[in-house]
Copies of this chain bind each other. A is one copy, B any other.
C-alpha cells in the first residue's frame, strides 16, 4: 500500500475528519468485520486510496476512530492524586460525559461491538482500558486485578446502557448512575480489603 501514493489528491484539511466520522458510523452500525474501507470512503465522498493514505489500514483507521478526544487516564490520575475519596464517582461521571456525547457515542458502540466479535479489537480494548486505569494504581496491592474489576463494571455499563439499551439504566441521568455505580468503582480502586 505504499506504492501508488504519489499523485493522489492529499485531500483538504477536513478530509481526515470526514473519514473518521464516516468510519465511526460504519463501525457502529455494521460492526468491525462488515465495515469496509471502500464503504467508509464512499460515505465520506473520497477515494479508498485516500483513506489508506491517511490511516494505513482498516485496523489503524479503527484505532483512530475510537480514540477519545481527551485523555481520560490523565484526568482520572489527577483526581486520584488530589481527591482519592471521590475518584470512583469522578471516573463514572467522566465516562458518562464522554459516552453520552453524540460525537463519541457511535465510537463506544463500535468499539464494544467489534471487541465482542473480533480478537484484534478485543485486544485493543483490553490494552486501552488497562493502560488507562492500571498506572493509576501503581504500588497498590492487586493493581492489575483492581483495574480489571473497574473495567468489568465500566464496560458492563457501556454494554448495557448503549448497546443492549437496558432500561431503566439506558435512560437514567448521570447523577443517578454516578451515585449508584461510583461507590463500586471507589471500592475497586481504593478499598484496603478487596479479596
How many residues in A have their beta carbons less than 8 Å from beta carbons of B? 43
5 interchain residue pairs of minimum CB distance: A156-B156, A116-B116, A148-B169, A152-B156, A152-B160
Partner of A116, one of B112, B145, B188, B195: B112
A164 at the binding interface (Cβ < 8 Å): yes
Q: Tell me which of B144, B145, B169 contacts A145 (CB under 8 A).
A: B169
Assuming the A-B contacts A116-B159, A151-B166, are A145 and B172 also in contact, with contact meaning beta carbons closer than 8 angstroms in the complex?
A: yes
A interface: dominant SS: helix
Whether the pair B181, A169 counts as a contact (CB closer than 8 A) is no
Interface residues of A in 144-190 (CB under 8 A from B): 144-145, 148-149, 151-157, 159-161, 163-169, 172, 176, 179-181, 183-184, 187-188
**Also in contact, A168 and B144, with CB within 8 A (given A116-B159, A163-B116):** yes
| Contact B122–A113 (Cβ < 8 Å) | no
A20 to B78, CA, bound (A): 51
Chain B residues near A116: list those with CB within 8 A: 112-113, 116-117, 159, 163
Q: Within 8 Å of chain B (Cβ to Cβ): is A125?
A: yes
Does A90 have its Cβ within 8 Å of any Cβ on chain B? no
A194 close to chain B: CB less than 8 A: yes
